[in-house]
Amino acid sequence: MSKAYCLKIPKKLGEKAIQLIKSLNLLNPDLKIAKEEYKLLIPLIREPSNAVMTRIKQDIDPVELSTSNFQLKRKKTQTLSAVLKEIIPSPLLLSLPKSYDITGQVIIIEVPPDINEYEKQLGEGLIKIYPNIKTVLSKQSAISGESRLRKYKIIAGSGETETVHKENGCLYHIDPVKAYFSPRLAFEHNRISNNVKDGENVIDMFAGVGPFAIQIAKRHKDVKVYAIDLNPDAFQFLEKNIKTNKVKSKVVPILGDAREIIERDLIGTADRIIMNLPKDSIKFIDTACTGIKSSGGIIHYYEFAGGNELFKRAKERLRNAVLKNGRQIKGIVTCRKVRATAPHEWQIVLDAFIH
């Protein structure tokens, strides 16, 4: 058993809460989630700050911060620091990463500089803990470029990077080297697909391998989702994922620049547009205004933000950009932090009804 901070939540909010806590990098991967009558106790890696608790309460209500004893998920020897304790000098064990992304059979990790010389051992330690993992990748750069990719180094395993990831009941063929995918967006993919109503036309402007588009199509009988991406590799995975998840009749995959495609073929088509390109979404508001039906619709607008009044500034930017394009924001129904991207920096989303 191991004592840890935890969140007590009603069982029925379990899936939602777990995804949110994962997206905030707070879920303790080594401890088993516990049950207490009608509640789940979700173990955390640290005590959340007041700001983070406020953020959690926006989506999960009721929620209570507590501490409890939890069973270890695996034998004690299989925590990362236990596996590596004979291999890495003990002062450096404190530098071991507390979190990493597991996408299908690939682990992606950021190796702290002071344990760089032990990266191979770290990768092998992870494979010991998760024997079904085939490759461990270490991040070598920030995400950059139009296709939103980063450089990786293979630090353990076979080196194969194509894999299949399960998220919210859908299966995604992915390759982090070739196309963007983040397991930290699972909650957001789910939230948006829950917001969609039957009968809607949706444009997913920056669809990647399809996690918004495909989940929307899986969940709703009568929808049409136009899923656009300009990265040919992402498009290939998107097509494969549409097939795998049997949503061919509802998702139209389109390879190309969202601006060109919407302004040529999808003018006034959408009840809803998803703009998950946080670095540059603002530059595409003109196109989104063209794609939304003349009677109005919802834009899910993502950006990176930090500092004080982050929502106030994002709202102003969005309002001005929409006005410039001859349309108006009737209301902003949601402002939320999607995930932490760096200390005090967030990916945020505004759900705006535009007319």
Residues that bind ligand SAM (CB under 6 A): 146-148, 180-181, 185, 206-208, 211-212, 228-231, 234, 257-259, 276-277
Nearer to ligand SAM, 10 or 256 (CB): 256
CB atoms near residue 287 (< 10 Å): 23
Task: Please state, in angstroms and rounded to a whole number, the distance separating the CA atoms of residues 350 and 157.
Answer: 40
Nearer to ligand SAM, 9 or 238 (CB): 238
Give the shortest CB-4-to-ligand SAM separation in angstroms.
30
Nearer to ligand SAM, 212 or 346 (CB): 212
Report the candidate in 68, 92, 62 with the shortest Cα–Cα distance to residue 80.
92
Give the shortest CB-112-to-ligand SAM separation in angstroms.
25
H-assigned helices in 165-210: 186-195
Give the shortest CB-75-to-ligand SAM separation in angstroms.
35
Nearer to ligand SAM, 39 or 336 (CB): 336
Give the shortest CB-277-to-ligand SAM separation in angstroms.
5
Give the shortest CB-164-to-ligand SAM separation in angstroms.
15
Nearer to ligand SAM, 161 or 231 (CB): 231
Question: What does the H/E/C string look like for 223-280?
Answer: CEEEEEECCHHHHHHHHHHHHHCCCCCCEEEEECCHHHHHHHHCCCCECEEEECCCCC
For the chain, the first-to-last Cα distance in angstroms comes to: 55
Report the candidate in 233, 232, 196, 230 with the shortest Cα–Cα distance to residue 213.
196
Task: Please state, in angstroms and rounded to a whole number, the distance separating the CA atoms of residues 80 and 30.
Answer: 9
Nearest residue to ligand SAM, using CB? 208
